[in-house]
Amino acid sequence: MAKQTYSKEERKAQFLKTGVALAKKGGVDSVTAAAVAAKHEVTAPLVFHIFGSRDKLRAAIKREAKKQGVTLAEPKAVKKAPRKRSVAEVKAIKDKAAGKRPVRATTGKRKVSRSAKDGKFVDKATVKANPDTTITQKVRAPRKKPAQKYPTQPVPAISMVDGEPKASI
């Protein structure tokens, strides 16, 4: 059996009918192109092709509902769930509220925190092992210079002296 084809106007009427039915239940703001497309077993890009955008789809649904005399459901107040935070984020928030400076990490595996006193750094592993440790300055490893791929040598200049070639550096 061959698939049935519809004109753009027929599809638009079908999508509007479905959109109005969906808007009756959950309000116009809950209507999505994917939901409308799923009811007709097509993809959402087809709905966007016909209407252009989500806002134009919703505006057309509102017009169609008004034309039919249908009362749409009020949009539900969406309460946003609080974002889950990592332990480090929670600790940073608490430290900020307490007036402490944030923890900074250095390059490598050892963590270092900044002291609130003189801007020096403290190695956490050392502090855990010996709480009476003095504050040490942060030290970075020197950068290695890349090896030269082709060492450069001075190129001798050749000049003609008394008809004979002579090289000079």
State which residues of the chain have pLDDT below 70: 1-2, 75-78, 101-142, 146-163, 165-169
Tell which residue, 78, 79, 72, has the closest CA to residue 25. Answer: 72
Domains and their CATH numbers in the chain: 8-68 (1.10.10), 102-139 (no CATH)
Q: What is the dihedral of CA 32, 35, 37, 40, to 10 degrees?
A: -140
Residue 44 to residue 95: CA distance in whole angstroms: 47
CA angle 32, 33, 35 (to 5 degrees): 65
pLDDT of residue 72: 81
pLDDT tens, residue by residue, 19-47: 999 998 888 888 999 999 999 999 999 99
Sequence letter at residue 88: A
Longest dimension (CA), the chain: 110
Strands 157-161, 164-168: parallel, antiparallel or unpaired by DSSP?
antiparallel
> What is the reported pLDDT for 4?
83
The predicted model scores a pTM of 0.45
CA gap 121, 123 in Å, rounded? 7
